[in-house]
Amino acid sequence: MSRKFKAKKRIIHREINYTLKQNWLKLANTERGAVQALITLLEKSKTGKVLLRRAEKKAMKGGQQLLDVLLAGEGSLTDTTLIRKFYPSQPDNVIYESRSKVFINRRLNVKDALLDMAHELTHFSYRMPFNPYQGPFDLKRFVTSTVEGKGGEVEAYLVECKVLFELIPSERERDSNCLKVVEPTTGRLSKRRGVQQFYRVGRHYRHFRRNLTSFDLSLGDFPRLSSSDALFISSAYGLPYPLAAIKEYKVIMGKACQNDHKRLGLLRQQLKVLQGTGRSPARENLYYNLSESYKTRCRNFPAS
């Protein structure tokens, strides 16, 4: 999304001299120093300060400092990795661990880097972790959670716009995309308006509908979906966010089902070894339960 603005020289702290138009990595001599400088600037926003405190607490829960989580990268994104650990000799004993990193596009100017940091930290701080191996993890929940759920795309964009309006008030009348999520009657940023705009998929409407068929879903499961021209496009997939969420779901589930297929293979081998020893009832139950779960969850993701 292109953003037009007037470059202004500002001094927030004596040690940070910058223009909004310069590359954000030039805020300091090192990448880590530049990230710290962005944090300092984001703290000047009331919304940014609250967000940073929340992000710090989240990082501390994982035994890290916020500067360990925030990094410069080739694109702005929140990368969450679910680590699943089990010993081949004990495939029934599984431990799950989630780790996240937040990357800020190294090519951005100061203004856009600040907004991307606010956006990605909203995902990092508020979005509920998901586990494709446990609990309900179906396509409908994933799409709605990604688009309109806690810490999802709509909320992250609203936070981004709040930070923009707080740090650069003159942008309120200039940023056309942020104005699209402002309620006309109140003049305030509105989640209702945001949800409405983010479900616009334009020419991808039929493509979205075709994707639903194999998951026993229909357009009725997404009542806010609109064929109006798409306004918000995922940079990761180059698609409107509802379509991008479907694509991401397929990637996640494809990998999860591949892993479960391997785990079933290990259990099958162990059952053959234990066959006739009378020591396999627990393993047989585990194999049966995992096999039934695999058939249900992975029918659209056959093992290669």
Quick: pLDDT tens for 80-115: 988 887 766 666 677 888 899 999 999 999 999 999
Among 79, 77, 55, smallest CA distance to 67 is for 55
pLDDT of residue 17: 67
* DSSP state letter for 162: H
Q: How far apart are CA 26 and CA 36, in angstroms?
A: 12
302 belongs to a structural domain: no
193 belongs to a structural domain: yes
Residue 205: C-alpha distances to residues 84, 103, 219, 228 (Å): 36, 31, 10, 9
304 belongs to a structural domain: no
Residue 7: C-alpha distances to residues 21, 68, 137, 172, 294 (Å): 6, 30, 45, 16, 55
2 belongs to a structural domain: no
Tokens of 117: 């940091």
pLDDT of residue 280: 62
Q: How far apart are CA 22 and CA 70, in angstroms?
A: 20
1 belongs to a structural domain: no
Q: Yes or no: say if 284 and 264 are a contact pair by the CB < 8 Å rule.
A: no
pLDDT of residue 270: 80
- Residue 146 domain boundaries: 9-297
Tokens of 210: 């075709």
Give pLDDT < 50 ranges for the chain. 1-14
**For the chain, what is the total number of helices (H) and then of strands (E)?**
11, 5
pLDDT of residue 284: 80
55 belongs to a structural domain: yes
pLDDT of residue 89: 64
pLDDT of residue 7: 41
What three-state secondary structure class fits 12? strand
Run of H or E residues at 243: helix 241-274
DSSP calls for 95-115: EEEEEEEEEEETT-BHHHHHH
216 belongs to a structural domain: yes
Domain count, the chain: 1
pLDDT of residue 161: 97
Reported pTM: 0.87
177 belongs to a structural domain: yes
pLDDT of residue 88: 64
CB atoms within 10 A of CB 251: 11
pLDDT of residue 233: 96
What three-state secondary structure class fits 28? coil
